Amino acid sequence: MRIILIGPPGAGKGTQCQRLVDLLKVPHLSTGEMLRAEVKARTPDGIVAASYMEQGQLVPDPIIVGMVSRRLQSPDCRHGCLLDGFPRTLPQAETLDDLLERRAMSVDGVIELAVPRDELVRRMLARGREDDDPEVFEKRIASFEVQTAPLLDYYARQGRLASIDGLGTSDQIFDRVKAAVRRFEQATRAR
Ligand code: AMP
Protein backbone atom coordinates (compact mmCIF):
# COMPACT_ATOMS: atom_id res chain seq x y z
CA MET A 1 0.00 0.00 0.00
CA ARG A 2 1.18 3.48 -0.87
CA ILE A 3 -0.56 5.93 1.45
CA ILE A 4 -0.23 9.66 2.10
CA LEU A 5 -1.15 11.16 5.46
CA ILE A 6 -2.06 14.85 5.35
CA GLY A 7 -2.83 17.07 8.29
CA PRO A 8 -2.07 20.55 9.62
CA PRO A 9 0.78 21.05 12.11
CA GLY A 10 -0.25 19.69 15.50
CA ALA A 11 -2.90 17.33 14.12
CA GLY A 12 -1.20 14.29 15.65
CA LYS A 13 0.21 12.94 12.40
CA GLY A 14 3.37 11.66 14.09
CA THR A 15 1.54 9.24 16.39
CA GLN A 16 -0.78 7.94 13.69
CA CYS A 17 2.10 7.51 11.22
CA GLN A 18 3.97 5.41 13.75
CA ARG A 19 0.97 3.17 14.30
CA LEU A 20 0.25 2.93 10.60
CA VAL A 21 3.79 1.86 9.60
CA ASP A 22 3.65 -0.83 12.29
CA LEU A 23 0.37 -2.07 10.82
CA LEU A 24 1.29 -1.89 7.14
CA LYS A 25 4.96 -2.85 7.60
CA VAL A 26 6.11 -0.29 5.04
CA PRO A 27 8.82 2.37 5.35
CA HIS A 28 7.88 5.76 6.78
CA LEU A 29 8.94 8.62 4.49
CA SER A 30 8.81 11.85 6.44
CA THR A 31 10.26 14.80 4.51
CA GLY A 32 10.40 16.82 7.75
CA GLU A 33 12.59 14.12 9.33
CA MET A 34 14.77 13.77 6.23
CA LEU A 35 15.28 17.55 6.21
CA ARG A 36 16.10 17.68 9.92
CA ALA A 37 18.76 14.99 9.32
CA GLU A 38 20.25 17.07 6.45
CA VAL A 39 20.24 20.18 8.66
CA LYS A 40 21.95 18.31 11.49
CA ALA A 41 24.61 16.90 9.15
CA ARG A 42 25.14 20.41 7.70
CA THR A 43 24.94 19.19 4.10
CA PRO A 44 24.55 21.83 1.35
CA ASP A 45 20.81 20.97 1.06
CA GLY A 46 20.50 21.12 4.84
CA ILE A 47 22.04 24.57 5.06
CA VAL A 48 19.62 25.96 2.46
CA ALA A 49 16.64 24.11 3.97
CA ALA A 50 17.31 25.44 7.49
CA SER A 51 16.78 29.05 6.45
CA TYR A 52 13.27 28.21 5.21
CA MET A 53 12.35 25.87 8.06
CA GLU A 54 13.25 28.46 10.71
CA GLN A 55 10.71 30.81 9.14
CA GLY A 56 7.95 28.21 8.91
CA GLN A 57 8.22 28.34 5.11
CA LEU A 58 8.30 25.53 2.59
CA VAL A 59 11.71 24.35 1.41
CA PRO A 60 12.18 24.77 -2.40
CA ASP A 61 10.96 21.90 -4.57
CA PRO A 62 14.31 20.92 -6.15
CA ILE A 63 15.61 19.91 -2.71
CA ILE A 64 12.43 18.11 -1.68
CA VAL A 65 11.79 16.34 -4.97
CA GLY A 66 15.41 15.15 -5.22
CA MET A 67 15.25 13.75 -1.70
CA VAL A 68 11.92 11.96 -2.16
CA SER A 69 12.71 10.58 -5.58
CA ARG A 70 15.99 9.07 -4.34
CA ARG A 71 14.18 7.51 -1.38
CA LEU A 72 11.34 6.11 -3.51
CA GLN A 73 13.88 4.25 -5.62
CA SER A 74 15.21 2.22 -2.69
CA PRO A 75 14.25 -1.44 -2.81
CA ASP A 76 12.42 -1.28 0.54
CA CYS A 77 9.87 1.11 -1.01
CA ARG A 78 8.96 -1.25 -3.84
CA HIS A 79 5.96 -2.71 -2.05
CA GLY A 80 4.70 0.47 -0.50
CA CYS A 81 5.42 3.34 1.82
CA LEU A 82 3.76 5.86 4.04
CA LEU A 83 4.32 9.42 2.87
CA ASP A 84 4.24 12.00 5.63
CA GLY A 85 4.74 15.72 4.91
CA PHE A 86 4.95 15.16 1.16
CA PRO A 87 3.32 16.18 -1.11
CA ARG A 88 2.56 19.58 0.40
CA THR A 89 1.67 21.52 -2.75
CA LEU A 90 -0.16 20.81 -5.98
CA PRO A 91 3.05 20.83 -8.07
CA GLN A 92 4.57 18.32 -5.61
CA ALA A 93 1.50 16.08 -5.96
CA GLU A 94 1.78 16.17 -9.75
CA THR A 95 5.51 15.43 -9.55
CA LEU A 96 4.79 12.48 -7.26
CA ASP A 97 2.23 11.09 -9.71
CA ASP A 98 4.85 11.33 -12.49
CA LEU A 99 7.56 9.70 -10.38
CA LEU A 100 5.27 6.80 -9.49
CA GLU A 101 3.80 6.42 -12.95
CA ARG A 102 7.29 5.95 -14.41
CA ARG A 103 7.63 2.97 -12.11
CA ALA A 104 4.11 1.68 -12.85
CA MET A 105 3.03 2.61 -9.33
CA SER A 106 0.36 4.89 -7.91
CA VAL A 107 -1.00 6.34 -4.69
CA ASP A 108 -3.56 3.95 -3.15
CA GLY A 109 -5.13 6.47 -0.84
CA VAL A 110 -4.79 9.73 1.02
CA ILE A 111 -5.88 10.19 4.63
CA GLU A 112 -6.69 13.67 5.88
CA LEU A 113 -6.52 14.16 9.64
CA ALA A 114 -8.98 17.01 10.12
CA VAL A 115 -8.54 19.17 13.22
CA PRO A 116 -10.04 22.67 13.67
CA ARG A 117 -7.58 25.58 13.84
CA ASP A 118 -8.55 26.58 17.45
CA GLU A 119 -7.72 23.10 18.65
CA LEU A 120 -4.33 23.14 16.87
CA VAL A 121 -3.35 26.39 18.59
CA ARG A 122 -4.59 25.09 21.95
CA ARG A 123 -2.50 21.91 21.60
CA MET A 124 0.59 23.85 20.54
CA LEU A 125 0.34 26.14 23.59
CA ALA A 126 -0.23 23.16 25.89
CA ARG A 127 2.80 21.35 24.43
CA GLY A 128 5.07 24.37 24.97
CA ARG A 129 7.88 22.79 22.97
CA GLU A 130 10.99 24.89 22.39
CA ASP A 131 10.54 24.76 18.62
CA ASP A 132 6.89 25.83 18.91
CA ASP A 133 7.37 29.56 18.47
CA PRO A 134 3.73 30.78 18.25
CA GLU A 135 4.53 33.07 15.32
CA VAL A 136 6.24 30.32 13.33
CA PHE A 137 3.42 27.94 14.22
CA GLU A 138 0.85 30.40 12.83
CA LYS A 139 2.88 30.61 9.62
CA ARG A 140 2.95 26.83 9.31
CA ILE A 141 -0.83 26.68 9.74
CA ALA A 142 -1.27 29.43 7.14
CA SER A 143 1.07 27.58 4.76
CA PHE A 144 -1.06 24.47 5.26
CA GLU A 145 -4.30 26.31 4.54
CA VAL A 146 -3.01 28.11 1.46
CA GLN A 147 -0.61 25.61 -0.11
CA THR A 148 -1.57 22.16 1.16
CA ALA A 149 -5.37 22.26 1.54
CA PRO A 150 -5.88 22.42 -2.28
CA LEU A 151 -4.34 18.95 -2.45
CA LEU A 152 -7.37 17.56 -0.69
CA ASP A 153 -9.53 18.53 -3.66
CA TYR A 154 -6.99 17.08 -6.07
CA TYR A 155 -7.16 13.68 -4.38
CA ALA A 156 -10.91 13.86 -3.76
CA ARG A 157 -11.45 14.29 -7.50
CA GLN A 158 -9.38 11.14 -8.06
CA GLY A 159 -11.61 9.33 -5.55
CA ARG A 160 -8.61 8.62 -3.32
CA LEU A 161 -9.32 10.84 -0.30
CA ALA A 162 -10.52 9.70 3.13
CA SER A 163 -11.10 12.65 5.49
CA ILE A 164 -11.21 11.53 9.08
CA ASP A 165 -11.94 13.34 12.32
CA GLY A 166 -8.66 14.01 14.13
CA LEU A 167 -10.34 14.65 17.50
CA GLY A 168 -10.49 11.93 20.15
CA THR A 169 -8.09 9.47 21.70
CA SER A 170 -5.20 7.98 19.75
CA ASP A 171 -7.07 4.63 19.66
CA GLN A 172 -10.28 6.20 18.38
CA ILE A 173 -8.41 8.02 15.63
CA PHE A 174 -6.44 4.91 14.71
CA ASP A 175 -9.70 2.95 14.33
CA ARG A 176 -10.77 5.54 11.75
CA VAL A 177 -7.37 5.31 10.04
CA LYS A 178 -7.69 1.50 9.82
CA ALA A 179 -11.19 1.78 8.36
CA ALA A 180 -9.84 4.17 5.69
CA VAL A 181 -7.03 1.71 4.84
CA ARG A 182 -9.59 -1.08 4.40
CA ARG A 183 -11.54 1.13 1.98
CA PHE A 184 -8.34 1.85 0.03
CA GLU A 185 -7.61 -1.89 -0.22
CA GLN A 186 -11.07 -2.51 -1.68
CA ALA A 187 -10.78 0.41 -4.10
CA THR A 188 -7.33 -0.71 -5.27
CA ARG A 189 -8.61 -4.23 -5.92
CA ALA A 190 -11.51 -2.80 -7.93
CA ARG A 191 -9.26 -0.56 -10.12
P1 AMP B 1 7.16 18.64 9.14
O2 AMP B 1 7.99 17.90 10.14
O3 AMP B 1 6.54 17.75 8.10
O4 AMP B 1 6.17 19.58 9.76
O5 AMP B 1 8.18 19.58 8.33
C6 AMP B 1 8.97 20.55 8.98
C7 AMP B 1 9.40 21.63 7.98
O8 AMP B 1 10.13 21.06 6.90
C9 AMP B 1 8.23 22.34 7.29
O10 AMP B 1 7.73 23.40 8.07
C11 AMP B 1 8.88 22.82 6.00
O12 AMP B 1 9.69 23.96 6.21
C13 AMP B 1 9.81 21.67 5.65
N14 AMP B 1 9.15 20.66 4.78
C15 AMP B 1 8.79 19.38 5.11
N16 AMP B 1 8.22 18.75 4.08
C17 AMP B 1 8.20 19.64 3.04
C18 AMP B 1 7.71 19.60 1.71
N19 AMP B 1 7.09 18.50 1.21
N20 AMP B 1 7.86 20.71 0.94
C21 AMP B 1 8.47 21.81 1.41
N22 AMP B 1 8.93 21.93 2.66
C23 AMP B 1 8.81 20.85 3.49
Question: Which ligand 1 atom is at minimum distance from the Cα of 92?
Answer: 19
**Angstrom distance (rounded) from CA 143 to CA 133:** 15
Query: Is the pTM higher than 0.85?
Result: yes
Pocket, ligand 1, Cβ cutoff 6 A: 9, 31-32, 35, 52-53, 56-59, 64, 85-86, 88, 92, 140
Angle, vertex CA 151, rays to CA 33 and CA 90, nearest 5: 80
pLDDT score recorded for residue 32 = 95
For each of the chain's 191 residues, which pLDDT tens digit applies?
A: 999 999 999 999 999 999 999 999 999 999 999 999 999 999 999 999 999 999 889 999 999 999 999 999 999 999 999 999 999 999 999 999 999 999 889 999 999 999 999 999 998 888 877 667 888 889 999 999 999 999 999 999 999 999 999 999 999 999 999 999 999 999 999 88
Substitution candidate for ligand 1 out of 31, 84, 96, 131 with most atoms within 8 A of CB: 31
CATH code of residue 68 = 3.40.50.300
* Domain count across the chain: 1
Which residue range(s) make up the domain with 89? 2-190
Report helix angle 13-24 to 170-190, nearest 10: 50
Q: How far is the CA of 186 from the centre of ligand 1 (A)?
A: 31
158 neighbors 149 (Cβ within 8 angstroms): no
